[in-house]
Structure 1
Amino acid sequence: MDWFEQARAAEQRRDWDAAIALVSAHAECYSTDHHMHANHLWHIDLLARAERFSELTKFALTDVHARRRLNRSLRAQGMEAVLRSRAKDGDRDALYVLVRLLCETNRDQEAHRAVQDFGPEDRYAHQIVARFRSPSSGTH
């Protein structure tokens, strides 16, 4: 059995340590080898599924894939305060995830305040809030 099959088997068993170790050895972000890049995305996904947020956070400092996956995972885990902290520290993706979460849970005013606090000049963040407030969106 090659490393790929071993990694898939470990993933299916939820043996995160084994799966992560196998995949990370064959992963490279933005590699010209599309297999290495795909393995990088798989590695990031495994870290998120294993809830290894500290490792993801380290990768997120320089890796957009890790940053996005971390923010989605934080949202799924209900870690709104951590998202808010990341947005405060300048993570625009965290801001967008936070604003969507607030809007989707009918907290439009909080969403607006988050944009004002963490990205007052961020047009995309303002667009997210506006989309949820729009009568044509069907949400309000």
Structure 2
Amino acid sequence: MIKPATCDSAERPLVLFRSPDLLNSTTLLLSDDGSTLFVGARDAVFSLDVSRSDVISLKSKVAWRPSQSEITECQNKGKDTEVDCPNFVSVLSQVNSSHLYVCGSFAFNPHDAFIVRESLKLTFTSASVTLVVENNHV
């Protein structure tokens, strides 16, 4: 019988990654080789190096936030600027070996995009009303 490893066990110590701009990170995608963790967060997507069991480090980050006019439009819908109007990334999916597909709430005007995996560069973004639930944030 195989005994499961627990958090902070000798086999896999509990390691934390903190960044002041990493908020509301509820969407995670582990690369096929297990060395990179993609994190969908508030107004950004992060790429973390998790190849070592004792340290997690930032590889790259792309900011993906609504414009001021989109935030104003969100406010005009009666939404709170800080709570409701950021872009909460809720979908991260690997499209192929080079790109990720992401969706976010985008100030109550859902958007989707394709991101280059290695650089986290946005290559295409558009409004997406069918793929993301508008009130999907933590």
- Which structure shows the bigger proportion of residues in helix conformation? 1
Q: Which has the higher contact order (CA 8 A, sep 6+)?
A: 2
TM-score normalised to structure 2 length: 0.27
* Structure with larger Rg: 1
- Which structure shows the bigger proportion of residues in strand conformation? 2
